[in-house]
């Protein structure tokens, strides 16, 4: 590494830096935050839904189902693995920004894993009424769906109906703010 790159890296590391993971509102993330359905006025964004489910809303019967804090905390080692042993290479090739982006992407993978595993087994199960509401179509079609569930060919994923909330998560790195 030549001295100019080393000095540039030293300057980058002096600035305040953070990796943010979540559902962001505004800017380039605006499309990911919006919901496809619902009335335009007063409708919830994906960021609103993520906050409600992350923290829970006991007054309306919604249990906390952490898709950010708990999974990221519990899987910190998995998140750091892509950077471990490659930090020097990442810093040489793209500076601190590339290293932090790699960690951010690993965080996103853990969040997506929470959706496909029911919060890594920590989320409260769906209520009976919610399970029934997920079965759609004619009686014949619903019976077929139930048969698929019983055979293990189809799941009743928690927090996944249209997949919009799951797709809304991303990461970003802020440097020098």
Domain identity same for 19 and 73: yes
Domain ranges, residue 130: 125-157
pLDDT single digits (tens) 51-75: 999 999 999 999 999 999 999 999 9
Domain identity same for 63 and 129: no
Domain identity same for 110 and 143: no
Domain identity same for 79 and 15: yes
Domain identity same for 87 and 69: yes
Write down the pLDDT at residue 39. 47
Q: Along the chain (177 residues), what's the average pLDDT of each consecutive run of 10 residues?
A: 64 76 71 55 83 95 95 94 74 74 93 92 86 82 82 75 89 81
Number of domains the chain contains: 2
Domain identity same for 151 and 99: no
Question: Among positive and negative, which fits the CA dihedral 32, 166, 134, 60?
Answer: negative
Domain identity same for 23 and 108: yes
Output the 3-class SS for the chain.
CCHHHHHHHHHHHHCCEEEEEECCCCHHHHHHHCCCCCCCCCCCCHHHHHHHHHHCEHHHCECCCCCCHHHHHHCHHHHHCCCCCCHHHHHHHHHHHHHHHHHHHHHHHHHHHHHHCCCCCCCCCCCHHHHHHHCCCCHHHHHHHHHHHHHCCCCCCCCCCCCHHHHCCEEEEEECC
Domain identity same for 80 and 55: yes
Domain identity same for 95 and 136: no
pLDDT single digits (tens) 88-115: 776 667 677 888 888 999 999 999 999 9
Write down the pLDDT at residue 105. 94
Write down the pLDDT at residue 147. 83
Domain identity same for 84 and 138: no
Domain identity same for 29 and 86: yes
11 within 8 A of 97, measured Cβ to Cβ: no
Write down the pLDDT at residue 138. 85
Domain identity same for 98 and 115: yes
């Amino acid at each position: 590494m030549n001295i100019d790159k080393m000095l540039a890296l030293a300057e980058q590391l002096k600035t305040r830096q953070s990796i943010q993971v979540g559902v962001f509102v505004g800017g380039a993330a605006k499309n990911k935050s919006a919901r496809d359905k619902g009335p335009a006025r007063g409708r919830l964004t994906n960021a609103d839904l993520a906050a409600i489910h992350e923290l829970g809303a006991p007054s309306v019967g919604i249990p906390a189902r952490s898709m950010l804090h708990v999974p990221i905390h519990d899987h910190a080692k998995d998140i750091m693995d892509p950077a471990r042993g490659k930090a020097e290479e990442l810093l040489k090739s793209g500076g601190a920004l590339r290293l932090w982006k790699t960690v951010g992407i690993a965080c996103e993978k853990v969040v997506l894993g929470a959706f496909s595993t029911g919060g890594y087994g920590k989320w409260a199960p769906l209520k009976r009424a919610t399970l029934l509401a997920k079965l759609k179509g004619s009686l014949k079609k619903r019976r077929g769906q139930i048969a698929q569930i019983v055979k293990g060919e189809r799941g009743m994923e928690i927090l996944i109906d249209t997949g919009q909330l799951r797709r809304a998560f991303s990461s970003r790195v802020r440097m020098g703010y």
